[in-house]
């Protein structure tokens, strides 16, 4: 038998156009599409890593080119560090300014909990410190994970530079005094403190699932039943603070990054660095205007921004924004610079409702609108909010029960009809029923 000198058929030339009916044409197109997608993905990864390298090197022009081409300014490496972290470490003021101009997250936390400002303080880059604080970076209270009596704990540390600032020392001791009084499932548990030596520290329970801000970034929008569950956690913790005896406690900086998730997935209110106690009156008036270093502008009530007297209802305003963020999948006015957002609140503008109407069923939208009312006295208390949320939660559960019930009925009917087809005696006996 004559052997084929060329057992493998010759491959088609890729230089020539193929038949539109060739069986390999779709496979080739799919392979080409996959290759192109992989190439694009690799190019994006390379550009992000390039951004990190150039930020470390202080290459302003190279960074401009990458950012203008669409590279993600908030890319985080394996240690969750951003280009802003690296530029802050190096003291590259121009690079820091450029990154901030492109909406870099000013308080991004790496895997160890450090922010760009904390890094700038550690490396004594004073110009960068001023620039970051101007853009709303929080004071350098740094969280670390440590072992205490054989268990993991969170340690909040204030550096030596805080001792020269009487206001910060007083705020730290006020936070300690508050934490010592608190015992609630939805409030972070205080464990101990170091106050007589430098650095001063507060030790609290460690919640490894991290803050709610990171969770929302991963999940985007939440289902209504999940959002209501989290909202109840927040409301219960805040109600405990507001009804605390003998003095009510105002958090004043309620935002997703100050809410932590425990092992069971429930939320706990944390970070009382700017909280206030209503000791002798029903309202508070600051001696100086609140700055973006004191509280997040994106979640601040208008009366706080205007430096007016305020009460516990400022936390209700912040709560409304967080609840809406859970449904919408993005922070309030996410496309606006943070320092512009409170001006919108003052002019009575609120984040738009873009999610489908069914996601705001059973009065959820109306509750949010009441909570962010421009007039504080019209906002409900957290005790009232809990009652409303419980009612919404029950209605959501009832709807789910009916859906499952309808489905089971359908399955039972389908099974009966199947048995009826297979067993004529059932059909004949059932036909005699009157």
Tokens 């088609």 sit at which residue?
12
Tell me how far apart the alpha carbons of residues 372 and 379 are, in angstroms, rounded to a whole number: 7
Active site residue 253: yes
Name the active-site residue from 211, 233, 253, 311. 253
Helix or strand holding residue 34 (H, E): helix 24-57
Is the bond into 199 cis (omega within 30 degrees of 0)?
yes
In sequence order, the 6+-apart residues with CB closer than 8 A to the CB of 116 are: 82, 84, 85, 87, 88, 96, 106, 107, 108, 128, 132, 137
What tokens were used for 151? 């268990």
Bridge-based pairing state of the strands 141-148 and 151-158? antiparallel
Query: What are the residue ranges of helices labelled H in 111-223?
Result: 116-122, 126-134, 166-181, 212-219
The helix-helix angle for 382-422 and 424-431 (nearest 10°) equals 110
Following DSSP, what letter does each residue of 361-381 receive, concatenated?
A: GGGHHHHHHHHT-SSGGGSPP
Q: How long is the chain?
A: 434
**Residue 338 phi/psi, 5° resolution?**
-60, -35
Whose CA is closest to 271, among 256, 287, 286? 256
Residues recognised as catalytic: 253
């Amino acid at each position: 038998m004559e052997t084929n000198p060329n057992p493998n058929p010759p491959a088609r030339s890729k230089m020539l156009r193929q038949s539109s009916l060739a069986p390999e044409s779709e496979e080739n197109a799919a392979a080409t599409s996959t290759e192109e997608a992989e190439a694009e993905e690799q190019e994006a990864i390379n550009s992000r890593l390039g951004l990190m390298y150039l930020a470390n090197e202080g290459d302003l022009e190279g960074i401009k080119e990458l950012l203008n081409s669409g590279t993600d300014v908030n890319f985080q490496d394996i240690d969750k560090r951003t280009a802003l972290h690296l530029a802050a470490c190096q003291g590259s003021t121009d690079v820091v300014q450029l990154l901030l101009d492109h909406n870099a997250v000013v308080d991004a936390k790496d895997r160890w909990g450090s922010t760009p400002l904390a890094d700038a303080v550690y490396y004594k880059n004073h110009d960068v410190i001023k620039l970051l604080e101007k853009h709303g970076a929080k004071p350098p209270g740094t969280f670390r994970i440590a072992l205490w009596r054989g268990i993991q704990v969170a340690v909040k540390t204030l550096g030596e530079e805080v001792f020269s600032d009487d206001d910060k020392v007083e705020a730290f001791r006020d936070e300690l005094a508050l934490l010592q009084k608190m015992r609630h499932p939805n409030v972070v548990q205080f464990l101990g403190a170091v106050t007589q030596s430098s650095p001063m520290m507060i030790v609290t329970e460690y919640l490894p699932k991290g803050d709610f801000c990171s969770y929302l970034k991963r999940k985007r929008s939440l289902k209504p039943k999940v959002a209501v569950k989290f909202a109840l956690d927040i409301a219960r913790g805040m109600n405990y603070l507001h009804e605390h005896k003998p003095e009510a406690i105002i958090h004043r900086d309620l935002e997703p990054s100050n809410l932590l998730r425990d092992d069971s997935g429930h939320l706990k209110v944390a970070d009382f660095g700017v909280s206030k106690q209503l000791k002798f009156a029903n309202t508070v008036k600051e001696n100086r205007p609140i700055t973006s270093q004191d509280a997040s502008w994106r979640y601040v009530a208008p009366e706080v921004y205007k430096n007016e007297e305020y009460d516990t209802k400022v936390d209700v305003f912040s709560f409304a924004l967080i609840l809406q963020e859970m449904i919408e999948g993005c922070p309030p006015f996410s496309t606006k610079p943070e320092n512009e957002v409170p001006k919108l609140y003052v002019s009575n503008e609120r984040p738009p409702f873009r999610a489908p109407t069914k996601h705001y069923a059973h009065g959820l939208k109306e509750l949010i609108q009441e909570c962010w009312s421009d007039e504080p006295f019209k906002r409900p208390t957290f005790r009232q909010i809990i009652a409303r949320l419980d009612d919404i939660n029950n209605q959501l559960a009832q709807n789910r029960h009916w859906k499952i019930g309808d489905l089971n009925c359908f399955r039972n009917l389908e099974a009966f009809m199947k048995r009826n087809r297979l067993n004529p005696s059932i059909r004949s006996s059932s036909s005699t029923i009157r």
